Chains A and B, each alone.
Chain A
Amino acid sequence: MAQILALLFLLKRLMLKELNSFSSVRFNNFLFSILFIMSAGLESGAPKAAFWSTLFFQIVLLAPLLVTFSVDTQHRLPPERVATWPLTCTQRLLLTSVSFALNPLFIVLFFGYLFWMGLAAGLFFVLLALIVHGTVYAVARLSFELRTPAGLNISRTPVKVGGIAQEMWRELQGTLDFWTALLIAVSGTLYRLFGRAPEPEAFPMLSLFVGITMSTIGQRMLCLDEGRALLRYRLLPIAGWKLLVTQDMTFLIPLAVMVSLLSLRTGIAFGLVAIAVGRYPSLRQRANQRRWRFVGGDPRFGVAQVLLGGLAGIGAARIGLWVLAVAFALYLVSVFWGEMLWKRSLAA
């Protein structure tokens, strides 16, 4: 008993330290937008009805969030450390289950759903959590390694900065923003290709939504790996603007591919503005970004990215290509300014 109590106290202490997971989701542009859509649904009617009417958005919001909870659970007590402890298999199983359920965000969300949206919504949340945790737990124990297919090995290209693009591309794939954006883009493309009488007005909006989902990355281009590569970038004999453009293109090209069948000009215009607005926090703010999480950004720049990027995206779709040209000009200015900031940071 004393052993279990000691472990529970340890879990409590670790969880309190882990409250920074709030900060990793709080200022994400995509999560903000989803909460905005959901709150609009809540204001319009009864919360219970709002839950079921926004079920798709609830799942899109909750599933990646629960993945981060589950990954946290796996990492909270390092498996190699737990393996050395004198515990039985049952005690180990109990430990991981308790560890998952005691996540403060999980508890807050469960009671939120239970009291505001009813028992059914609360149970739905728990069921979804169990499915996600079970899947993550099982996948983590599979004996295979995820490898990037050789065809995507950018470092083999004749470009000098191919290695930097390769690193950025891999780090991009380590964010939940990328995979959520891909999920939305694939769903939207399938809707366009196979939907019954798809609404053309929806395509720029879907493209915008993909851009918003990716946009927080624009604020953290240089520290997606907890800032470790930044040290190497500082040591390399490479001009700042080349580094910035390489990273920007590694962000923009996948975004362009994702929105290519939705509304390319909307996606590109949004992406260019999102990068330009995110330039300052990307170069000046340091964030402890962890893998397999949503990227945490600065709310001031996040709101600016969504508003200005949204204007540019919708403008490019409805007014014409000159809006795209304005977005590109803004991007060029940000590269020039970024080069100056980079030089200043090297001299400091």
Chain B
Amino acid sequence: MFIGGLGFRDHGVEIRRNLGVLPEGLGLFESLTVIENLMAVGPIYGFTKSETAARAADLLGLLDLTQGRHTVARNCSFGMRKKTALAMALLHKPRVLLLDEPFEGIDPSSSAVIEMLLDQLCGDGATILLTSHILSIVQKIATRVVILHQGRVESDFNPSTADEGVEEAYFSIVGEPQPEVLDWLRS
């Protein structure tokens, strides 16, 4: 596997220095608080404590985590955990971002902030690969959409130039849902 022209086998450390990942499992240090999670990783990317603290404060403020920054990760809500993991992925301003469902479980205002941040990073030349089931957001921010169905690539297009939207393309592949009303749920 190559990222940025570097092979993972021989340049694992260099690749990871320029890679930001929001994994499915989030990869938080469960015993540390939100701020401690960020402070723990900054120096490993080569930042001083004060640089890390300044970046962490900015990200926490932007993602509305300032108030809960002293909460231990294992006690955080799902949204807080996700935002903390996202902040950890962004802290070192990576050139490549891999994000798994970054908008899932996130409040609307934070969602808008994340959209803006991704847009800004993209404008600066970063490569962002994200997975999402929230098709309206994908339609809005993605420059290239790949739809996977049953392990196969079914569609690969640019939503701004395509004839149909992401949602239409998706349902045309997986089929329209057939909602069924349960009798016992009726009054």
Binding site for B on A (CB under 8 A): 155-156, 158-164, 166-167, 170-171, 174, 225, 228-229, 231-232, 234-239, 343, 346-347
Contact = CB atoms under 8 A, between A and B. Distances in A.
B41 A166 contact: no
For chain B, which range describes its interface: under 10, 10 to 19, 20 to 34, or 35 or more residues?
A: 20 to 34
5 closest A-B pairs by beta carbon, nearest first, are A163-B40, A170-B31, A231-B27, A232-B27, A237-B17
Contact of A166 (B21, B25, B26, B40): B40
Nearest to A167: B29
Contacts of B13: 237-239
28 contacts: A155-B39, A160-B43, A160-B44, A161-B43, A163-B32, A163-B36, A163-B40, A163-B43, A164-B40, A166-B29, A166-B32, A167-B29, A167-B32, A171-B31, A174-B31, A225-B31, A228-B26, A228-B28, A228-B30, A229-B27, A229-B29, A231-B27, A235-B21, A235-B27, A237-B14, A343-B12, A346-B12, A347-B8
Given A155-B32, A161-B44, A225-B31, 13 more contacts: A156-B49, A163-B29, A163-B39, A163-B40, A166-B29, A166-B36, A167-B31, A228-B26, A229-B28, A229-B29, A232-B27, A237-B14, A347-B9
Contacts of A171: 30-31
Contacts of B159: none
A230 to B, nearest CB: 8
Contact of A232 (B12, B19, B28, B45): B28
A155 B36 contact: yes
B16 interface: yes
B23 interface: yes
A234 B98 CA distance: 14
B19 to A, nearest CB: 7
Contacts of A229: 27-30
Most buried by B among A231, A236, A237, A346: A237
Contacts of B23: 231, 235
A237 B44 contact: yes
Contact of A170 (B8, B32, B88): B32
Interface in B78-117: 88
Contacts of B30: 171, 225, 228-229
B92 to A, nearest CB: 9
Contacts of B14: 237
A38 B25 CA distance: 43
